[in-house]
Structure 1
Amino acid sequence: MARRDLKNLTRFWSGRDSPGLSLMHADFQTQQFAPHRHEELVIAITEIGGSVIQSRGVVDNADTSALLVFNPSEPHAGWMGASCHWRYRSLYLEQSALDDLSHALGTDRIPYFTRNWIADPELASNLHALHRALDGEHDPLLQRELMVTSFGALFRRHGSGGLRVEPVPRDRVRVERAIEYIRARLAMPISLADLSDTLDLTQFQVIRLFKRTIGMTPHAYVLQLRLDAARRYLATGSPIGDAAVAAGFYDQSSLTHHFKRSYGLTPLQFARATRA
């Protein structure tokens, strides 16, 4: 849902595959927030300009790439200060979304944040990438992977008490089982939850397992296997649309997008060259 006035634009929507998650993209030139609170955990990442945030009697200046975190029911206020343009993305996590994250991370609690303004450009960039993924192409595995890794880092680095993740045992045995599972279902949707259940690990541990043993995240690995399959189909004469679906891509445009990003050429260019 989008709301526009002469100087401000806001879009607010619910996460497609994440119950209890809402998102907003705001572009302000005049906004001032009165003191208020949210029942949800709120995360906000500044894209352009900045703002002044007041909470717990402390005033912070949130500039570009600033990461803001507000605990559930924590009062705060905000205004633009010296900035004439303030654009940001925010995520709102209800209790059901927090419970889901706890399960994925293998922890029994969501930490409390003792600071509202967090100086962590890498994490801000990762949360920004998560928000954009939830606002763009529908790729549930990528969205879930970004969700688990970015919030895992947020809780571990900046939450009270941090987050301890149990080490992953028997790496090679488990990763071979994961690869076998993925190859058998490559043309079907593959979720992080399914991999977690298959390996008897938390979703966070699954991501760490892949990065440590393969050097890629689960999403990147699945994508590469699908590109490999698409190349084989194209080389044997399959139409691009058929090759895309058979390899597990959502549609032809999705295959084309990832093919160009990985190889610098389109599936049509590749097909013509290999058939010639």
Structure 2
Amino acid sequence: MTDTPLRDHARYWRTPLLPGADLVTADYHEHSFAPHWHEAYTIPVIERGAECFRYRGAQHVAASGTVPVINPGEVHTGSRAVDEGWSYRVMYVPIDYLHDLAGEIAGRAQPLPWFPSEVIHDLDLAHRLSRAHRLLEADAGRRRLLDNPAAGPHPASDLLAVEGALIDALSTLLKRYARTEEAPLGPAAHVAPGAHDARVETMKALLAADLATPLRVADLAQAVGLSAFHATRLFTQATGLPPHAWRTQLRLQRALAPLREGRTVADVAAAQGFTDQSHFTRHFRRMFGVPPGRWQSE
């Protein structure tokens, strides 16, 4: 008798209680995430096993009960750290939501919250985040049943309890661990050379202007007055990815909204400048752990 191999599973979903956010409940055993970044704050809680990931120039391990927060725009990887893989719950929280919450906590406008690179070891925080995620997921399930007349009557959620748990979890994270971009992040922090260079921002803007239009490194170099070699090196040092890989990540981020709206995978792939649907699907799965059609159907 042979053991049944463990299978990867990920379910993405959304909730009106956290507008603009994506949430995921996942078990990963074989999948490895290539270097990528997200436009939102990535706030996971590891519930089983352990994940290893490269972030800010160092290798990290996040075991059960830890919270490895990733800041928006920061390149990172992800793979199993133990044979059994890892299970986690993740909130991809929009920048504006967390920024506004930080201001509400302080009672005045705040700089953008930023989190140090170290994995957070705080069982109380992990419990709060896990509880909030579970309540949001249960509420999302109830909403789907209420939208389906064939499912019959189903009790509604206690929205005060659900939203209260969400605000409690995220405000606890902010109060205990948030820093700001303007403040030092401590001696262990890794700040990429040229991270705030105006030339990098110029190249980013050019790469993002029209994602379906082909660009050459020479176009970027000319825009910032550098050689192709020096433009590529500056961009890679600042962002953690070469220009073509950074642009691919942006295309994937921009693909999410039209997928949510119900556009076909083929149409979205073409609109975002991918050579074909299979090319888009391959990159999408490497970043999100599921193919775009599966992500769209959740």
TM range (shorter): 0.5 to 0.7
What SS does the corresponding residue of 2:69 show, helix, strand or coil? strand
Question: 1:68-93: per-residue Cα shift (whole Å, max 9, x none)?
Answer: 10111011111103332311000001
- 1:53–1:27: structure 2 CA closer, same or farther, 3 Å change rule? same
Report what 1:157 is aligned to: 176
Q: Which has the larger radius of gyration?
A: 1
**What is the aligned-residue identity percentage?**
31
* Map of 1:145 onto structure 2: 164
- Count of aligned pairs: 157
**SS of 1:34 mapped into structure 2:** strand
Q: Distance in 1 between matches of 2:22 and 2:84?
A: 27
Q: Which has the higher contact order (CA 8 A, sep 6+)?
A: 2
- Residue 220 of structure 1 corresponds to none
Instruction: Give the deviation of 1:21 after TM superposition.
Output: 2.0
Q: Which residue of 1 aligns with 2:214?
A: none
**8 Å CA contact retained: 1:20, 1:96:** no
* In structure 2, C-alpha distance between the alignment counterparts of 1:103 and 1:139, rounded to whole Å: 26
User: In the TM superposition, what is the alpha-carbon distance from 1:100 to its structure 2 partner?
Assistant: 4.6
Number of the residue aligned with 2:93: 93
* Alignment check: 8 A CA contact 1:21 1:97 kept: no
Cα separation, 1, equivalents of 2:64 and 2:29: 15
Gaps of 5+ in 1: 1-5, 162-276
Any conservation in 2 of the 1:32–1:79 contact (CA below 8 Å)? yes
Q: Secondary structure at the match of 1:70?
A: coil
Conserved? CA contact 1:66–1:119, under 8 Å: yes
Q: Which secondary structure state, in structure 2, belongs to the residue aligned with residue 152 of structure 1?
A: helix
TM-score, normalising length: structure 1: 0.53
- Offset, 1:155: 1.0
Q: Is the 8 A contact 2:55 2:117 kept in 1?
A: no
TM-score w.r.t. the length of structure 2 is 0.49
- Structure 2, unaligned stretches of length 5 or more? 1-5, 140-156, 181-298
Deviation per CA, 1:196-254: give whole Å up to 9, x if none.
xxxxxxxxxxxxxxxxxxxxxxxxxxxxxxxxxxxxxxxxxxxxxxxxxxxxxxxxxxx
Q: Which secondary structure state, in structure 2, belongs to the residue aligned with residue 144 of structure 1? A: helix
- How much does 1:139 deviate? 2.4
Q: 1:128 — aligned with what?
A: 130
Runs of 4+ in 1 over 4 A off after TM superposition: none
Is 1:58–2:68 an aligned residue pair? no
